[in-house]
Amino acid sequence: MTFQNTLECAKELDASDPLSKYREEFHYPQVNGKDVIYFTGNSLGLQPKRTQKFVDDVMKDWRELAVEGHFYAEKPWWDYHERLAEGLGKVVGAHPQEISVMNTLTVNLHLLMVSFYSPTEKRFKILCEEKAFPSDQYMLQSQTRFHGLKAEDTIVEVKKRPGEHHWRTEDFIQKIKEIGDELALVLIGGVNYYNGQVLDMKAITEAGKSVGAFVGWDLAHAVGNVELKLHDWNADFAAWCSYKYMNSGPGNASGIFVHERYLDKKDIPRFEGWWGTKKETRFLMQPEFDPIETADAWQLSNPPILSLAPYLASLELFDEVGMDALIAKQKKLTAFLEFVLHEVDKEVDSTFEIITPKERGCQLSVFLHGEGRPLFDYLMKEGVIVDWREPNVIRLAPAPFYCSFADMYNFGQVLKTGILSKSG
């Protein structure tokens, strides 16, 4: 249908949305006695209502079984993490054996770099994007120092072209070819946290592999948001957090992908712990590490069950709906939000500049020219939860599980009122 900036149009879109019922699966904060309009699923997803039962089940087993819960709980703790592998494999495009869940995102990236960054005198350079997420920058800088290298000689950043707000795939490929056999590792955020751009992960992975480099991806803003085919793209490794689009709770456990060609290898560089040993021999307490044949070989310690319970609850929702349906709604919902922004722009003196390219997930990053922090404060006071980035960018992420088309329209009206009330 043709979009119109009316509540009637928004309601029609919601009525025809096959996923609209899933709004009822989530808890919403309230402001002024009403559910908020929530645009920050790219930072922390809302809590699924079914999460409480998953956590309560673990608490009940702990209360009633204590240590025996490891083997006799309804979902025994000793293999609890394995229940996430199949669902996550569907989300990231991987085989279940290529998936594990452990630690948190930057910890996992550091651990994976132990396996996939072994610089030599000739091949030592790391390629990343300009102004990567700060944690990634710190990680790469500290890894170079650990190896006795200087960051300025080792880390190569691919920059945006002057006057542009997004990267071009050909610039990544050209830089990879330019570095050639000096390139040891490509490690990039698959979806940029600031502008919301989805990079061409397939093409960049192919380019990196063509010169003999390892290729890994930080998928914090990609998992549960965009289509991923990590196995088919031939990526070496990837890691992601679970608390953004995956709705698993603040600071929760990270997932990793390791391509199957590296599994069941005893000679791969790796920091090791007892939970990475084969299940059949784990409790024999043998002196030599015997890696399990899956990505679980990268696990160090037994997994945090109270953290994994909310993750499993959310994955149940993803399994019910499927990524294809989520992406279909995401595209339509984000397109409607973009339309609403352009319509509001016509009615106010300010100028909105969407810096997110068409290669995107469900995030739009918007320059609010002529506006400042007071507009953000106004939106928050009115129950529109957005993210502010200096100097005057708001990030809007209408997650398809719990955002509606009516939310997009109502946001536009609040935004317009906020701007006009200032000028009036």
pLDDT, position 283:
87
pLDDT, position 1:
66
pLDDT digits (tens, 9 = 90+) for 338-373: 999 999 999 997 788 999 999 999 999 999 887 888
pLDDT tier at 391 (50, 70, 90 boundaries)?
confident
pLDDT digits (tens, 9 = 90+) for 200-254: 999 999 999 999 999 999 999 999 999 999 999 999 999 999 999 999 999 999 9
Residue 423: is its pLDDT beyond 70? no
Domain limits of the chain? 7-35+322-423, 52-321
Domains 7-35+322-423 and 52-321 fall in the same CATH topology: no
What separation, in Å, do the N-terminal and C-terminal C-alpha atoms of the chain show? 35
The better pLDDT of the pair 34, 373 is held by 34
pLDDT digits (tens, 9 = 90+) for 148-177: 999 999 999 999 999 999 999 999 999 999
Sequence-ordered list of residues with C-beta below 8 angstroms from that of 70, at least 6 positions apart, any chain: 76, 77, 78
3-state secondary structure of 166: coil
Neighbours of 377 (CB within 10 A): 12
Indicate if the alpha-carbon torsion angle 81, 300, 96, 242 is positive or negative: positive
Instruction: Please list the helix, strand and coil fractions of the chain in percent, rounded to the nearest 5, in that order.
Output: 45, 15, 40
Instruction: Find out whether 88 and 255 touch, Cβ atoms under 8 Å.
Output: yes
Task: Give the CATH superfamily of 7-35+322-423.
Answer: Aspartate Aminotransferase, domain 1 (3.90.1150.10)
CATH code of the domain made up of 52-321: 3.40.640.10
